[in-house]
Structure 1
Amino acid sequence: MTAAPRPEAALPRADGPGDAAGRAGGPVRLRGLRGLRGLRGLRRAVRWGVAALLPGELVLAVCLLSGVRVPAPARLAVELAVLALTLGTAVLLATDYRRHRRARPGRRREALLAAVADTVPPTVRRLAAHEWSLSTSMLRLLVRRGPHGVGPGDVPVAYASGQTLAVGVFLFVSVVETVALALVIPWPVVHAVTLVLDVWGVWFVAALHASCVVRPHVVGADGSLRLRYGALLDIRIPAGSISAVRLERAYPEGRLGAVSADGTADLAIASQTSVTVELTAPLGYLRALGGPAEARAFRFYAEDPAAAVAALTAARAADRVTAPPRPGS
């Protein structure tokens, strides 16, 4: 009895160039996929670890400030966790930086910013940018460096004086509350937590007002308009998007940068606006802390609204005169 012939697929065949490349590339692709999965897992672990560790760091700092004795194992565990997260973040940043450097040869700064964007969550980046802007604004006010973002030919439009009284009253009440609670609360941990939060609140209000002073609205030399509220809001309106500007006092009740039913966004100071800018088409922008919005008109407050309207009208007229003629006109 003769044995049945083996199927053709099971017979040994000569290796061609494609087979050799496939066998060589297979392990490489497999290692690449495993590496990507490992990076994704490390990225998730770092982000969740930071979110879980920040409250623990805050509690540990409060306990140390209040004189509460923290067990040595707890301190060691927190320090090891911080070290592990630092190393994980460094690995992610280095890996992402090398990847973006290969995609952007010769552009180190862009590669670094892209690596940070990949590693750090958007919310954390926005909060860190706001805190940095608040700190630099306070420093700019103290050293009297002048308004931020105002170039040659630009016209600053101040608005901070409209809220000076309200901010002063709020700061006074906050300081009184901080002192009163520091004297009344008997528990060390609660006392330290309350003191830290109250001091940070006073700093935030003062720095926010400082950012409003040094970051005014700006009428650009090219007829554009930049609307701001301190370090929280920054809206750029090109000159070609502005259809009309007028004096108009209004008293909106919405939140900062909120869009009403008719498509108007309000940047009110002390619950009032004094200038209205209408647009040729809806303009998208980011509200405070990054919420997207779109508006067809903007109302904002200016200390001297007549001067703001005159400066914007003159800049737009000058831009139309100096603009090159369109083809066929």
Structure 2
Amino acid sequence: MGIKEFITQTRRLAAHEGRWMTSLGLWMVRRSHGVGEADIAVGYARAQAAMAYGMVFVFVVETVGVSFLLAEYPDIHLVMLVLDLYTVLMVLGLHAAAVTRPHVVGPGELRIRRGARLDLRIPLERIASARYDLRFPDANKSEDGVLDVAIASQTSITIELTQPVTVVSLLGRRTEVHTVRCHADEPQAAIAAIKKLLPVDR
């Protein structure tokens, strides 16, 4: 990896961190990001909520336990306390990003999002079909031209495209996809909202 690429990826990671930190603030005031008055927000965070809160509980218990163990070593204790508190904050921030950055069905496009990591804009004219399709994709396997946006290891909506769209990963990798699979808390309602905006012949 060259220096230029390293700097670019570092900036991307810093921007990602800024997004989930911003999401914490939005979550506290119960606001969403990127949802206009004419848009329909499609939530997907419910499936991962139990896991996220469970992880927070485990990390809080670990923080307390480590604090007792390192009480006699104040310098090490301070370092570990900062790291543990940051971990708790990050887990909350990542979940907050999923809550405050839902999928968005708008008059001209469909936005498929995964927290602060992914924001894919699909023009409605490129959508051939949208259907309910519950799947549990293998994270270690991928299909050419297919994007799995799984939440809690599941997807419930499959969107077929008439033309491919470009997906940009967190670190900047670009991939062309013709099928997008994502999850929604209420998949049938999400599909109905998408179909309502598609041309009648689709």
Residues of 1 paired with 2:83 and 2:97: CA distance?
Answer: 21
Which string of whole-angstrom CA distances, capped at 9 and with x for unpartnered residues, describes residues 98-152 of structure 1? Answer: xxxxxxxxxxxxxxxxxxxx9x9322321222222112211111122x2211113
Q: How does 1:38-117 map to 2 (within 5 A)?
A: none
Mapped pair 1:249 → 2:118? no
Identical-residue share of aligned pairs (%): 43
Which string of whole-angstrom CA distances, capped at 9 and with x for unpartnered residues, describes residues 24-53 of structure 1? Answer: xxxxxxxxxxxxxxxxxxxxxxxx8xxxxx
Mapped pair 1:192 → 2:89? no
| SS at 1:303 equivalent | coil
Mapped pair 1:210 → 2:96? yes
Residues of 1 paired with 2:139 and 2:106: CA distance?
Answer: 28
Q: How does 1:134-283 map to 2 (within 5 A)?
A: 134-144=20-30, 146-185=31-70, 186-222=72-108, 224-254=109-139, 260-283=142-165
| SS at 1:302 equivalent | coil
Compared CA separation, residues 292 and 182, structure 1 to 2 (3 A): farther
| SS at 1:288 equivalent | coil
| SS at 1:290 equivalent | coil
Kindly indicate whether the alpha-carbon contact (under 8 Å) linking 2:165 and 2:176 is maintained by their aligned counterparts in 1.
yes
> What does residue 308 of structure 1 align with?
190
Kindly indicate whether the alpha-carbon contact (under 8 Å) linking 1:162 and 1:303 is maintained by their aligned counterparts in 2.
yes
Q: Name the structure with the higher helix share.
A: 1
| SS at 2:171 equivalent | helix
| SS at 1:289 equivalent | coil
Residues of 1 paired with 2:50 and 2:9: CA distance?
Answer: 32
Residue of structure 2 aligned with 1:130, choices 16, 32, 35: 16
Residues of 2 paired with 1:246 and 1:305: CA distance?
Answer: 9
Mapped pair 1:317 → 2:196? no
Residues of 2 paired with 1:177 and 1:246: CA distance?
Answer: 43
Kindly indicate whether the alpha-carbon contact (under 8 Å) linking 1:232 and 1:289 is maintained by their aligned counterparts in 2.
no
Residues of 1 paired with 2:144 and 2:134: CA distance?
Answer: 17
Cα drift, residue 160 of structure 1: 0.7
Cα drift, residue 220 of structure 1: 1.1
| SS at 1:121 equivalent | helix
- Uncovered stretches (5+) of structure 1, i.e. residues with no partner: 1-47, 49-117, 321-329
Q: Name the structure with the higher strand share.
A: 2
TM-score with structure 1 setting the length: 0.56
Cα drift, residue 188 of structure 1: 3.5
TM-score with structure 2 setting the length: 0.89
Kindly indicate whether the alpha-carbon contact (under 8 Å) linking 1:283 and 1:294 is maintained by their aligned counterparts in 2.
yes
Which string of whole-angstrom CA distances, capped at 9 and with x for unpartnered residues, describes residues 48-106 of structure 1? Answer: 8xxxxxxxxxxxxxxxxxxxxxxxxxxxxxxxxxxxxxxxxxxxxxxxxxxxxxxxxxx
Residues of 1 paired with 2:110 and 2:166: CA distance?
Answer: 14
Cα drift, residue 262 of structure 1: 4.2
Higher alpha-carbon deviation: 269-278 or 147-156: 147-156
Q: In structure 1, give the amino acid aligned to 2:83.
A: L
Q: In structure 2, give the amino acid aligned to 1:236.
A: R
Task: Say how many residue pairs are matched.
Answer: 197
Residue of structure 1 aligned with 2:174, choices 292, 308, 312: 292
- Uncovered stretches (5+) of structure 2, i.e. residues with no partner: none
Q: Which of the pair has more CA radius of gyration?
A: 1
Q: In structure 2, give the amino acid aligned to 1:135.
A: M
Cα RMSD (Å) of the superposition? 2.1
| SS at 1:231 equivalent | coil
